[in-house]
Amino acid sequence: MRRESQRTGVFTRRALVVAGVQVAALGALAAKLYQVQVVEGARYATLSDNNRISARLIAPPRGRLLDRTGAVIGGNRLNWRALLVAEQTGDVGATLDNLSRIVLLSDAERARIDRELRRHRRFVPIMVREFLTWEDMARIEVAAPELPGILVDVGTTRMYPYGATLAHVVGYVAPPAEADLADDPILALPGIRVGRAGMERVHDQVLRGRAGAVQLEVNAVGRVIRELDRQEGTQGQDVTLTIDLDLQKMVLDRLGDESASAVVMDARNGEVLAMTTNPSFDPGLFNSGVSQAQWVAWTSNRRAPLINKAAAGLYAPGSTFKMVVALAGLEAKVVNTSETVFCPGYLDFGDRRFHCWKKYGHGSVDMRGAIKYSCDCYFYEVARRVGIDRIAAMSNRFGLGVKLDIELPGARQGLVPTRAWRIAQGKAWNIGDTIVHGIGQGFFQLTPLALATMTARLASGRQVQPHLTRSIGGVTQRGARPEDWPGLGIGERGMQVMREAMWAVVNEQGGTATIAKLPPLPGATGPPVQMSGKTGSVQVRNVTREQRERGYKSENLPWEYRPHALFVGYAPHDAPRYAVALVVEHGNAGSETAAPIARDIMAATIARDPAKRQDRPRVAEGGRTG
Amino acid sequence: MSFSERRLTRERSLDITDKLFRISWLFVLLLTMLAAVGYAALYSAAGGAPEPYAARHMLRFGFGLVLMLCIAMVDIRFIQRLSWVAWLGGVVLLVLVLTMGNVGKGAQRWIELGGMQWQPSELMKLVLILALASWFHRASWERMGNPLFLIPPLVAVVIPVGLILKQPNLGTAVITAAVGGAVFLAAGLRWWKVLLVVGAIVVAAPIGYTQLRDYQRARIDTFFNPESDPLGAGYNIIQSKIALGSGGVWGKGFLKGTQGHLNFLPEKQTDFIFTTLAEEFGLVGGLALLALLASIVLGGMLIALRCRHQYGRLVALGISMNFFMYVFVNVAMVMGAIPVGGVPLPLVSHGGSAMIMVMIGMGVLMSVHVHRDVEFDDRQREL
């Protein structure tokens, strides 16, 4: 028992020590509480009651979109905005009524504001009105006492100095959809924009940057007293496009009133120097909201200004396709370059007669002549021998009917038919179908961009892919050098014949596009630069025998029934650098409508030589970003 | 046989009425008051509504109270026999949570069970107290002087503390070690050894700092200089201090706190619940709450002092110490006096599993009190 009482005594003493420490510690907490709440209390009370510390994210400036020479084609400008912080407003409705007396708020705007108020927490500033004038701003500041919770701040807004010139390439930005808000906290900021189309959408993440944060002292009505701390976000990176702004403008000007699209590419590396579609629209309008009337005007216009016809317009290639058929024939060894075919003006196959465009025929033509004169009979015969599947395979190697690496979200793959494709539709493929496809008619659906790619590959012999991104944040993306692209692997002899024939089309007496012969460059010395090319005309509806016998004239048809006019070409013919593809919707004949426009586009391109106008290349590791 | 020994023998068989009569209902009342304070705070944190925190809080407390009273009926000698098994179970759970637990905020701490997230480290603290008390239950003053005798209980502390550190959960590891140390001290550890350990910690702390995870180091860095990172880790402390300071002596009034309601204050329903209260009820309210917490801590110590057997004394002391550590770390944290550490305020903060674990501990404490006079069979033999 002695031991037990000894132990109890030890425990009691020790427990009292522990309890003493506990009491002392809690006493220290009480003292600390006194210090925080009473001694320093006044200071903190000020911070809390009159001046609250409010942490806000700041939107980083969106990165700019530049053309290849560094000209800003998508930039930022200052935007004065009125914001509303719900928690600092007693009666939101009354405040907005007061504000409405200064800047009129429509019912639609009120509805949008109500929606945003529900979507965000009460201390997140809601954008009430953007693009305030100086006068409005001043009046809002004067009326501040009646407008609790209304703040005026300056942000940036997207600006497209060349609006319609580059609308389809640049795309546009718009407020984020509700579904986007979860992705990135900066999307909850007032007035933030995300890329909705074109390169704005493709490079949205890069352009967006990272949000900064600012710690503000604000008073009881929400006015900012001072800034306590600021952590700048990371500005979005600039993206340099391959587009040459001046060339783009020239091309668009030259398209005039036509419903047309044209693509100019660097044939050696696939850089798209100009991609135009006419008519166009002003992308800046999407930034502030498009009116109903404007929308109806756009969507009801049969020339479809909102559609990027260069990358999403689908056409049969017509005679511009004939080189592919010829190369397919050579590779399959069903024809050689010197073999001649007799053209009486038609080809009979079974009970069908296939007409050449020249009523009384071309007589005997070899491969070079067949392309130079665009003889249909020759290609009917070659197509019959080689078959649709080998034609399709050769098309794919030229970028036709396959997905291209172009970054544009709306770009379409198009269609090159095969036997299997037709059978999958539950139909049979007839030799007659093959014959029609030999001259680029039939089921083909190809974009001007694909035709430009085909032309660039014909000219350079490389598997170039069209692309629009030249550098991101100053780092040149892969694909800028010709060596980045592997060869096509098509017999050089055949390619040579094609290039020679295409030269003859433009530069030799009797060619179908001699009108497209380039004028001599002003002030140039040495041999003139010559273009090689090929015309095409595509019927949009069948011509009946009756019409043909009555002396059919397509220019007498109503506009929407006239054939499309096409031209593809490259220059200089002996050292190909630039490729062009042009489609004039319902332009009638390629040789009449398309060829002169293409000539002027190419002349402007050669004169400007945009491939030399570029930032210093620094090639990045890894693949190009799509 | 003396009178007292006769009484002990008689109390080998307490019936249920005796046991209920022996419960400290005053202590139960204190716990209920604390839970009621929690209800008020959570009601305010939800912006003046019983949902989503306050109503559930009370429901859980009701359940916890029943659980506590049930445990109080269990014979303390039975609990003593299970001590080491419970310790082993706690360690197994800690290992499990490391290998398959849920990762929350960068640490593996939880096991999902019954729709709640359980932190085995909470259970571990309790079973560690039981195991240590069981070991020291038989130890005489002389025995406590034998270093070899101290090795097994030391291992019993080091293993769980190491596992908790590995999660990593620095706050709970420190609390666990402190609670274990308190039991050692009360069992009669020589003072010079106590000073030796304290000295070693002082020397080792700077080395340990380099071994911490980045976020733990950030907390400590922030603690020494909260303004260095006003939007990151320091934000909580600054906002909490503003809320406390703006409460002043008398507070802003119930439901009138601005910092908490305006969402300036993060985790206002869990770690920073004390801030919510002290903003609305001021220094007066804060001191009253501290007094209530202190009376619960000291009530536990009183139970320890009144107990007639060493096991009960040590268990009661350990449990009060555990409760005290919770309170101290949490309140010191919200005032910016120690680094932020994710420790809730017991019976006030929102959180189901923590509340249940506290009430289980209180049940064991009450079992000590109910069985304060019982006689252990091995009592004479072991001394």
Mutation target for A interface from B184, B231, B238: give the one with most A CBs within 10 A.
B231
C-alpha A133/C-alpha A144 separation (Å) is 17
Is residue B105 predicted with pLDDT exceeding 70? Answer: no
Amino acid at A398: F
Instruction: Tell me chain B's radius of gyration from C-alpha atoms.
Output: 21
Residue B230 binned pLDDT confidence (cut-offs 50, 70, 90):
very low
Nearest to B241 among A36, A123, A229 (CB): A36
Specify the pairing of strand A194-197 against strand A150-159: unpaired
pLDDT of residue A545: 57
pLDDT of residue A323: 92
- Does residue A195 share a domain with residue A177? yes
**Distance, in angstroms, between B139 CA and closest chain A CA?**
9
**Distance, in angstroms, between B307 CA and closest chain A CA?**
10
Contact of B317 with chain A, judged by CB distance below 8 Å, is answered with yes
Last residue of a domain, one of A189, A224, A239: A239
Test A36 with B313 for CB contact under 8 angstroms.
no
Test B249 with A41 for CB contact under 8 angstroms.
yes
Nearest to B310 among A11, A25, A54 (CB): A11
- Does residue A539 share a domain with residue A464? yes
Is residue A121 predicted with pLDDT exceeding 80? Answer: no
Q: What is the DSSP letter of A622?
A: S
Please answer whether residues B110 and B119 qualify as being in contact, where contact means their C-beta atoms are separated by less than 8 angstroms: yes
Please answer whether residues B381 and B312 qualify as being in contact, where contact means their C-beta atoms are separated by less than 8 angstroms: no
Residue A364's φ and ψ, nearest 5 degrees, are -85, 125
Test A36 with B186 for CB contact under 8 angstroms.
no
Nearest to B245 among A11, A17, A44 (CB): A44
Q: Which of residues 528-557 of A touch B (CB under 8 A)?
A: none
C-alpha A45/C-alpha A41 separation (Å) is 6
- Does residue A481 share a domain with residue A346? yes
Look up the CATH number of the domain holding residue A60. 3.90.1310.10
- Does residue A220 share a domain with residue A103? yes
Contact of A154 with chain B, judged by CB distance below 8 Å, is answered with no
Please answer whether residues B69 and B369 qualify as being in contact, where contact means their C-beta atoms are separated by less than 8 angstroms: no
Among A174, A208, A132, A178, smallest CA distance to A288 is for A174
Q: Which of residues 198-217 of A touch B (CB under 8 A)?
A: 213, 215
- Does residue A271 share a domain with residue A132? no
Test B313 with A123 for CB contact under 8 angstroms.
no
Residue A65's φ and ψ, nearest 5 degrees, are -105, 125
Reported as a single tens digit per residue, the pLDDT across A65-91 is: 998 888 888 888 887 888 888 877 778
Residue A546's φ and ψ, nearest 5 degrees, are -60, -45
- Does residue A250 share a domain with residue A231? no
Contact of B247 with chain A, judged by CB distance below 8 Å, is answered with yes
Test A123 with B263 for CB contact under 8 angstroms.
yes
Tell me if A508 is assigned to some domain.
Answer: yes
Q: What is the pTM of this model?
A: 0.56
**Distance, in angstroms, between B23 CA and closest chain A CA?**
22
Test B188 with A7 for CB contact under 8 angstroms.
yes
Q: Which of residues 226-245 of B touch A (CB under 8 A)?
A: 230-231, 235, 238-239, 241-245
Chain A residues with beta carbon closer than 8 angstroms to that of B298: 19, 22-23
Test A26 with B283 for CB contact under 8 angstroms.
no
Reported as a single tens digit per residue, the pLDDT across A128-138 is: 887 888 888 88
Tell me if A47 is assigned to some domain.
Answer: no
- Does residue A231 share a domain with residue A257? no
- Does residue A417 share a domain with residue A546? yes
**Distance, in angstroms, between A93 CA and closest chain B CA?**
21
Look up the CATH number of the domain holding residue A346. 3.40.710.10
Lookup: tokens for A81: 């905005």
Mutation target for B interface from A3, A16, A21, A29: give the one with most B CBs within 10 A.
A29
Nearest to B328 among A17, A29, A44 (CB): A29
- Does residue A457 share a domain with residue A595? yes
Specify the pairing of strand A239-241 against strand A65-66: parallel
Read off the pLDDT of each residue in A496-520 and give the average, rounded to a whole number: 88
Last residue of a domain, one of A189, A219, A239: A239
Among A215, A36, A40, smallest CA distance to B274 is for A36
C-alpha A356/C-alpha A377 separation (Å) is 6
Read off the pLDDT of each residue in A4-33 and give the average, rounded to a whole number: 91
Residue B51 binned pLDDT confidence (cut-offs 50, 70, 90):
confident
Tell me if A618 is assigned to some domain.
Answer: no
Please answer whether residues B121 and B104 qualify as being in contact, where contact means their C-beta atoms are separated by less than 8 angstroms: no
Is residue A534 predicted with pLDDT exceeding 80? Answer: yes
pLDDT > 70 in chain A, percent = 87
Mutation target for B interface from A6, A8, A33: give the one with most B CBs within 10 A.
A33
Residue B156 binned pLDDT confidence (cut-offs 50, 70, 90):
very high
Nearest to B287 among A25, A33, A55 (CB): A33
Tell me if A299 is assigned to some domain.
Answer: no
- For all residues of chain A together, what is the average pLDDT? 83
What are the sequence ranges of the domains in chain B? 18-374
Reported as a single tens digit per residue, the pLDDT across A29-66 is: 999 999 888 888 777 766 655 446 666 667 778 888 99
Read off the pLDDT of each residue in A3-15 and give the average, rounded to a whole number: 87
- The answer to which of A47-61, A224-238, A426-440, A583-597 has the lowest mean pLDDT is A47-61
Contact of A41 with chain B, judged by CB distance below 8 Å, is answered with yes
Give the SS3 label for residue A319.
helix
- Does residue A329 share a domain with residue A229? no
pLDDT of residue A624: 36
Test A121 with B185 for CB contact under 8 angstroms.
no
Tell me if A46 is assigned to some domain.
Answer: no
Which domain does A381 fall in, by range? 245-279+307-612
Contact of B288 with chain A, judged by CB distance below 8 Å, is answered with no
Read off the pLDDT of each residue in A439-457 and give the average, rounded to a whole number: 91
* The most confident of A180-184, A425-429, B100-104, by mean pLDDT: A425-429
Please answer whether residues B21 and B366 qualify as being in contact, where contact means their C-beta atoms are separated by less than 8 angstroms: no
Read off the pLDDT of each residue in A505-516 and give the average, rounded to a whole number: 86
Reported as a single tens digit per residue, the pLDDT across B250-271 is: 887 787 766 554 445 556 677 7
Ramachandran class of A378: left when φ > 0, alpha when ψ lies in -120 to 50, beta otherwise: alpha
pLDDT of residue B268: 67
Read off the pLDDT of each residue in A294-321 and give the average, rounded to a whole number: 86
Reported as a single tens digit per residue, the pLDDT across A450-490 is: 999 999 999 998 999 999 998 888 888 877 888 888 888 88
The number of distinct structural domains making up chain A is 3
- Does residue A410 share a domain with residue A360? yes
Residues of A tagged active-site:
319
Q: Is the peptide bond before A60 cis (omega within 30 degrees of 0)?
A: no
Read off the pLDDT of each residue in A306-314 and give the average, rounded to a whole number: 87
Please answer whether residues A227 and A213 qualify as being in contact, where contact means their C-beta atoms are separated by less than 8 angstroms: no
pLDDT of residue A47: 63
- The answer to which of A27-41, A330-344, A513-527 has the lowest mean pLDDT is A513-527
CA nearest to A16 within chain B: B301
Burial B125-149 (b: 16+ CB within 10 A, else e): bbbbbbbbbbbbbebbeebbeeeee
C-alpha A58/C-alpha B122 separation (Å) is 41
Test B244 with A12 for CB contact under 8 angstroms.
no
pLDDT of residue B288: 95
- Does residue A275 share a domain with residue A382? yes
Beta bridge partners of A262: A276, A582
Nearest to B248 among A12, A37, A215 (CB): A37
C-alpha A233/C-alpha A61 separation (Å) is 9
Q: How distant, in Å, are the alpha carbons of A40, A51, B268 from that of A46?
A: 10, 6, 21
Residue A99's φ and ψ, nearest 5 degrees, are -65, -35
CA A259, A264, A270, A272 dihedral sign is negative
C-alpha B298/C-alpha B305 separation (Å) is 10
Is residue A620 predicted with pLDDT exceeding 50? Answer: no
